[in-house]
Amino acid sequence: MTAAGPPSSSPPWGSDPSYAVKLPIFEGPLDLLLHLIRINEVDVTDIPIARIAEQYIQYLDLMRELQLDLAAEYLVMAATLAWIKSRMLLPPDPSAIQEDGMDPRAELVARLLEYQRFKEAAGEIGDRPLLGRDVFAAQAPAPEPPPEGEREVEVGVFELVEAMRRVLARPAHTGAAHEVEVETITVRERMLAVMQVLADRAGCEFEDLVREDGHRASRPILVTTFLAILELTRLEAIGLYQGVDDAGVPRGAIHVRRRGEGADRTWIERVSDLM
């Protein structure tokens, strides 16, 4: 908006509807008012309220026409301006409590001045050389914390099969009653179960996943869990790790760990794609 103060009869952006308008982006009704005060070259403390209010409404109409979202605050300000305008036109109401000849514009002027101060302050701090925009710091990384407990390597299928063999060799849970029950367990169910276990902790031991009440789980559960773990590993939802001994040979319990942040969503999506 470089045009000087427009005649009050025509809209401030010109009368030609095809005229391309570059609207300044206003930070709110106060910002818009300050802009109008500036282009009209009037004093903030002595605002020609009728003229400014009219131009303000014209801007709102334009913004509506351009289908810009009009925040409710703009409408509140329009109402405030209309109220002030009417107060300025009316003779002082003798029955009203004497307001010490208060100018009806006083509160608005105070707000405008206050806003202007902070707008200027914002410009001032924004002009400083900012870290990450104008200046950059020497970036020594903080020393890495020592790895937790043991050194670990990522393990493959062979180590996992070995762990599986150990589990299978352990006596299974034998219930007191010999009830024959056909259990249908799907790999998908077990994948969900594994992720459930890992939902509120970062990792657990492989053998924890194939144990029920301290006993080895039934064979169908064992096998499906095993497959579920392989599938989850392939989907990179989890990782498998094992400690190494002094010679660097993987040894000991296999740990199942959830992969990094956001992995949950990906694996859930991919599981649903699969099934």
Partner 1 sequence: MEREQERRIVEAIVLASPEPIAPARIAAVLPGCNPSQVRALIDELNAEYAEQRRAFEIWEVAGGYQLRSLPEFAVYLKQIQKSRPLRLSPAALETLAIVAYRQPVTRAEIEHIRGVDAGAVLRSLLDRQLVRIAGHREVAGRPIVYATSRRFLEVFGLAKLGDLPSLRAIEALAEAGEDADALAEEAVQDGVASRPDALDEDDAAQDDLAAEEELAAAEEEAPPPGVTTH
Residues 6+ apart with CB under 8 A from 257: 198, 202, 203, 238, 239, 240, 241
Compute the least distance from the CB of residue 131 to partner 1, in Å.
Answer: 5
DSSP structure string for 106-132? HHHHHHHHHHHHHHHHHHHHHTS--BT
Cβ proximity to partner 1, 93 vs 114, nearer residue: 114
Cβ proximity to partner 1, 131 vs 182, nearer residue: 131
> What is the contact surface with partner 1 in residues (CB under 8 A)?
25, 27-31, 71, 73, 77, 111, 114-115, 117-142
**C-beta separation of 135 from 175 below 8 A:** no
SS3 99: coil
Neighbouring CB atoms inside 10 A of 217's CB total 19
Compute the least distance from the CB of residue 109 to partner 1, in Å.
Answer: 14
Compute φ and ψ for 241, nearest 5 degrees.
Answer: -135, 150
**C-beta separation of 241 from 254 below 8 A:** yes
Cβ proximity to partner 1, 115 vs 244, nearer residue: 115
Compute the least distance from the CB of residue 149 to partner 1, in Å.
Answer: 25
Q: Encoding tokens for residue 135?
A: 């200046």
Cβ proximity to partner 1, 83 vs 118, nearer residue: 118
H/E element, 240:
strand 238-244
Compute the least distance from the CB of residue 186 to partner 1, in Å.
Answer: 41
Compute φ and ψ for 135, nearest 5 degrees.
Answer: -130, 155
Cβ proximity to partner 1, 7 vs 145, nearer residue: 145
Cβ proximity to partner 1, 42 vs 172, nearer residue: 42
Residues 6+ apart with CB under 8 A from 48: 40, 42
SS3 83: helix
Tell me the angle at which helices 49-65 and 72-89 cross, rounded to the nearest 10 degrees: 150
Compute the least distance from the CB of residue 77 to partner 1, in Å.
Answer: 7
- Distance between CA atoms of 26 and 161, rounded to whole angstroms? 66
Compute the least distance from the CB of residue 47 to partner 1, in Å.
Answer: 16
Q: Encoding tokens for residue 18?
A: 């095809």
Cβ proximity to partner 1, 34 vs 160, nearer residue: 34
Compute the least distance from the CB of residue 31 to partner 1, in Å.
Answer: 8
